[in-house]
Structure 1
Amino acid sequence: RLAKSDEIIRLAGFFGRTLHDLVRPDEPLVDLGEQLRAAAEKIQGPDQEALFQAIDDLQRLAEDYRELERIVHAPLRFNYPAQTTINARLDPAEFADAEAQRDRQRLGLGDQPVMNLRAMLEWDVGLRIFYLDLPSAVAGMYAYHAELGACLVVNHKHPPERRRVSMLHQYASMLVDRFKPHIAALARPTRKPASERFADAFALAFLLPATSIRQRFHNIVTSTNDFQVADLRRLAHFYFVSVESMAQRLEQLGLIAKGSWERISGANFAPREAAESGLRPQPINDQLYPERYQFLAVSAYERDEIGETNLAHFLRCDIVTAREIVANTLTSREVVEATGEERDVRLDFQKSLLAAAS
């Protein structure tokens, strides 16, 4: 016989799943968490339970992402770089610098700052990037599956500048060991393995291209005959990185003396006081799920493929907030050319722009 409604609800509770998980038509679930849990078991202490919870959250978000793609008939297209191997005869940091430059060229980024890094990695590379609350000592997690592709978790608790480095650290891990799940802890052994040194260097090199950094550094010194801490702060803000990351990169490139950051940080320097330096905050996207995930959920709702309850489930909020997200997503603030006045334009997500051109 068919299961009754109350029986389905009890089954969902018994298996630790949502009602939505049990009743939706779907292929067998993809398990991202098995090897991640094995890695988490090696991290002893109070942080382990929080890691297990984050792994479960990642599993369900990845499943929902795939379900939205199925509903809207919009599979994610992958544009991954080729895997690479770290040669033991090469310095991992120098090799990472070359690989970061090559990947920037592949993606058409040139050598200028990438402000919306998360969106670029999601749309142009095809990564699935989620922001979850991880233990403070953990920067992020990475897992790969043939159907889902690369799934990254970044610690939502960390500052935006740190999150950008964490994203690229996980991305670099995918370059050298695509099929191995990874949990990135901030506190690592004194002697890091070559893969970790590669990932650390790749992140800085991708965010701070050598040619661009040298040019701007030389411009500052040429115009002022000096390079002060204030210049370091402004340069870090321009590239949307922490002052520490910028100082480390300048040290790597031989533009300032080794140990400069230790001397600066030991002098009661407050690197996050951007407002007092006259610097505007950079735009931040700290949503739980990717921008594309939200667009898919709104599109499915607009097509009447899902109702409000499922919409709220996908968006991880209540129904009232889900309605607000739909309204904001479908509304664009535009300027009327004739008058210069601003007005809200309601967008029809289902309207084709190709039909009129044919």
Structure 2
Amino acid sequence: MDTTVDEHGTTEALATRIRDARESAKLTQAQVAAELGVSRPTLIAMEKGTRAITPLELVKLARLYGRDVANLLRPSQPPASIRAKFRTGLMTSPNDTELDEAVDELEHFADNYVDLLRRSQSRLPGRPPAVRPTDYLGPQGAGEALATEERNRLGLGDGPLQWLREVLEVEVGLRIFLLDLPSKVAGVFINVEPLGGCIGVNRNHPPQRRRWTMAHEYAHYLASRDRPEVTRLGSGRLNDSERFAEAFAANFLMPRNGVVRRFHELKQDSGGKATPTTLIQLAHTYRVSVQALCLRLETLDLIKHGTWDRLKNHNFQPRAAADMLNLVPVPDSGEPLPYHYRTLATQLYVDGDITETQFAQYLDMSVVEARKEFHKLTSTSDVGEDGQPQIVDLLDSVE
């Protein structure tokens, strides 16, 4: 972090923060200078760090940008402008307001994450892999090869991956945020210092779709992490980069050997025939949609091509069928913030390094909601000696 200060200027971190805040507020230098009652060259000097900012000017700027003074005064440099990186041709138009707001949200959480790391003097979790070349094979072949390689690197075997987000956050070292993205945007990816790979997933999409999006963006991280990505649904013919990411997601979530083995086991249980029940059970096992499972089985030539289209044309209802089979969906917390982020905030609050109000602000919650979240993060379900369920307070249990 850079907190150097010129004799007549201000910290580089503060200069960067007021510039980024102005850009996020979509205000010109001329507009802000007029509000402050200074010349535009003076404001430019403030944003370069060569002219000191008075306390009154700082308060005015915070009010103008809708920021807390404390946020602007953070000594750590904010992550490299996420907004600026996404602006390079990724927004469909200057009026793509919803996506613009989601990028602002991601930038806000990333800055908070960096501040939590600074306060706690902690390191980020994960074992980030090196960037992998993919041009030695076509998109489909590269996707399968890299998915197999990553599963082997992480020791995942070829079985169903139940806790995908936890693996990506803790083992790989990705920072996953659930954002209010436009309905046609499944996710976004950006690699930004000092956090590394950050994934934004559409929190309004179903859990199976969110898992697929995580795996899809993971592929971009492995192959082209210096290029920001916006994954849009229904955008027509896919380019090679998107075809690769889709192939990686299919193979990482449903590895060939494991799917083939389990498909034949279920088929044998059904008298040697693949039925809709077979498909539903297999989709439930791998925590993917029946559509994704069908398309995967078609690719592996395990069922006839066009099976999903035929089921859809016959008004097949996967969720209703799963309910009839008593297949209960695996709980999905839908937490908007990474687990490590939330535990850092919790530990700082427990240690008295931040106030309850600050704890709530980091979690983007009201104080009442933050108290409930604190209880969740500091307790766990367990079974007592009498065999009855109990809640263990992790703080009280520490000697």
So what's the TM-score if we normalise by structure 2? 0.82
Kept in 2, the 8 Å contact 1:37–1:55? The answer is no
Aligned with residue 216 of structure 1, among 249, 258, 262: 262
Kept in 1, the 8 Å contact 2:162–2:287? The answer is yes
Structure 1, 282-291 or 125-134: larger mean CA deviation: 282-291
Tell me the equivalent position of 2:38.
none
Residues 253-292 of structure 1 aligned to structure 2 (within 5 Å): 253-273=300-320, 274-292=322-340
Say whether residues 1:141 and 2:188 are aligned partners.
yes
Tell me the equivalent position of 1:250.
297
Tell me the equivalent position of 1:356.
none
Tell me the equivalent position of 1:355.
none
Q: How big is the shift at 1:212?
A: 0.7
Q: How big is the shift at 1:78?
A: 4.0
SS of the aligned residue for 2:352 comes to coil
CA deviation string 1:165-220 (max 9, x = no partner): 11111110112211001111112232x22111110000010000110111011112
> For the structure 1 residues 202 and 60, does the alpha-carbon distance in structure 2 shift closer, same or farther, using more than 3 Å as the test?
same
CA deviation string 1:251-291 (max 9, x = no partner): 11110111111111111011233323311111202111111
Aligned with residue 108 of structure 2, among 30, 51, 60: 60
Q: Which has the larger radius of gyration?
A: 2
Take 1:128 and 1:32, find their aligned partners in 2: how far apart are those partners? 14
One-letter amino acid of the structure 2 residue matched with residue 83 of structure 1? V
Tell me the equivalent position of 1:71.
119
Kept in 1, the 8 Å contact 2:267–2:278? The answer is no
Considering Cα pairs closer than 8 Å and 6+ residues apart, tell me whether 1 or 2 has the greater RCO. 1
- Unaligned residue ranges in structure 2 (runs of 5+): 1-51
Tell me the equivalent position of 1:332.
380
One-letter amino acid of the structure 2 residue matched with residue 93 of structure 1? Q
Kept in 1, the 8 Å contact 2:90–2:229? The answer is no
> For the structure 1 residues 145 and 181, does the alpha-carbon distance in structure 2 shift closer, same or farther, using more than 3 Å as the test?
same
Tell me the equivalent position of 2:64.
14
Tell me the equivalent position of 2:388.
341
Residues 1-150 of structure 1 aligned to structure 2 (within 5 Å): 8-41=58-91, 43-44=92-93, 48-87=96-135, 90-150=137-197
Give the number of aligned pairs.
Answer: 346
Calculate percent identity across the aligned residue pairs: 37
Take 2:346 and 2:230, find their aligned partners in 1: how far apart are those partners? 32
SS of the aligned residue for 2:128 comes to coil
Q: How big is the shift at 1:9?
A: 4.4
Kept in 1, the 8 Å contact 2:79–2:110? The answer is no
Tell me the equivalent position of 2:41.
none
Tell me the equivalent position of 2:35.
none
Q: Cα RMSD over matched residues?
A: 2.1
Kept in 2, the 8 Å contact 1:275–1:281? The answer is no
Q: How big is the shift at 1:228?
A: 0.4
So what's the TM-score if we normalise by structure 1? 0.91
Take 2:80 and 2:53, find their aligned partners in 1: how far apart are those partners? 26
SS of the aligned residue for 2:188 comes to strand
CA deviation string 1:114-153 (max 9, x = no partner): 1111111001111000001111111100111231100000
